[in-house]
Amino acid sequence: MKDACYFIHDSNARYDPKILAMRAVFGMEGYGRYWCLIEILRDEDGYKLEKTKQLYDAFAMRQKNS
């Protein structure tokens, strides 16, 4: 059985002007990374990440490995 939290988002989010602007710069890869970040935040207490050097290093490492 899958142990996952569910969260709602609009099925037409891809047409939001801010999302379109992001996609214009970063393409669908950026759009995927955006939703990955949203999923990470959903799993955190208070939906927030503490800003640390390790956090930035981890995101930089994900960027290099994908």
Please measure the distance between the N-terminal and C-terminal CA atoms of the chain and give it in whole angstroms. 28
Q: Is residue 21 part of a domain?
A: yes
The alpha carbon of residue 1 and the mean position of all alpha carbons in its chain are separated, in whole angstroms, by 24
CA dist 52 and 50 (Å) reads 6
Q: Is residue 36 part of a domain?
A: yes
CA dist 50 and 64 (Å) reads 22
Q: Is residue 60 part of a domain?
A: yes
Q: Is residue 37 part of a domain?
A: yes
Q: Is residue 26 part of a domain?
A: yes
Q: Is residue 5 part of a domain?
A: no
Q: Is residue 8 part of a domain?
A: no
Per residue in 6-50, pLDDT (tens digit) is 778 889 999 999 999 999 999 998 898 888 888 888 888 898 888
Q: Is residue 1 part of a domain?
A: no
Residue pair 24/18 in contact by the 8 Å Cβ criterion: no
How many domains is the chain partitioned into structurally? Answer: 1
Higher-pLDDT residue of 60 and 47 is 47
Instruction: Tell me the pTM.
Output: 0.69
| Domain coverage including residue 55 | 13-65
